[in-house]
Amino acid sequence: MIRAGYTLCLLLFFFFMPVLPFRAALSAEDMSPREIACRIDDLYRGSSSHAVMRLRVSTGLSERETMLEAWSKGRKYTLVRTLEPSGQRGHSIVKLGKSIWSYLPDVGRVIKLPPSMAGAPWLGSHLTLSDAVRGDMLSEDYLAEITFTGIREKTEVIEITLRPDPASQTIWSKVIATVRQSDLLPLNIEFYGDKADLVQTMTYSGIRELGSRMLPSIIRITPAGESGAFTEITYEAIRFDVEIDEDCFSLKSLMTPESL
């Protein structure tokens, strides 16, 4: 079954909250496990953001691509809209506080998604509806501890293990994130199911300048046990701290096919 509880990233659509200025040469002693988790959460965020992304989905037998445009403001508001292919143009999803709404232009309907649908596949990918608007937050929904510091594959890394906060509703029983010690950029994140089995792995690559930051431009989600299957998100462009009115994150905007 295709599912992916966390992310942007995720997705990718890894926005939502004002972030502290990035600092270089951080070590395990400089930040707590929760602060490292927060850095992962805020990797693609500013006080607001606007991004264009390419979503590539492979089943192992076939592939397809979708172009997406996304806006965010703080952790409260997110809007993601499909640009291509033309048959899916206008399909949109918006997060308003803790509520998630979806617009289906082919039937002209706006649907409020119940919490039970948060783990449902989004656009036929290995991302969920929750991922699309970053419903789960590592730093808020999980309790973190550092479980390894040292060298792996010639890179100094920090590994943090996260387990669900009893007060939160989460999809994963355990999450293991590995970041570079030098700049805390993530290398990979592993997601485990109820039976402590590995469900999927998220890897980060293609580090380049995005929105005046050095960030991984490619995020790949690989499900365990599915040969050749993956979902890959490539950031074509992103801008941080852009002027976006909160009115843009509304049910009316959800149904507007033009860019904001």
CATH number of the domain bearing residue 88 = 2.50.20.10
Please report whether residue 18 resides in a domain: no
Q: Residue 3 domain-assigned?
A: no
Q: How confident is the model at residue 87 (pLDDT cuts 50, 70, 90)?
A: confident
Structural domain total, the chain? 1
Does residue 14 belong to any structural domain of this protein? Answer: no
28/230: higher pLDDT: 230
Domain that holds residue 192: 33-254
Using an 8 Å Cβ cutoff, are 259 and 69 in contact? yes
More confident residue, 83 or 132: 83
Residue at 189 is within a domain: yes
Mean pLDDT taken over the chain: 82
User: Does residue 135 or residue 195 have the better pLDDT?
Assistant: 195
Assess whether pLDDT exceeds 90 at residue 76. no
| pLDDT tens digit sequence for 167-188 | 887 878 999 999 999 999 999 9
Domain membership flag for residue 6:
no
Selection from 101, 104, 131, 103 nearest residue 119 by Cα: 131
| Strand boundaries in the chain, DSSP class E | 48-59, 63-73, 77-84, 92-96, 99-104, 109-113, 142-152, 155-164, 174-180, 186-192, 198-210, 213-223, 229-240
Domain assignment present for residue 7? The answer is no
- Across 199-207, average pLDDT: 95
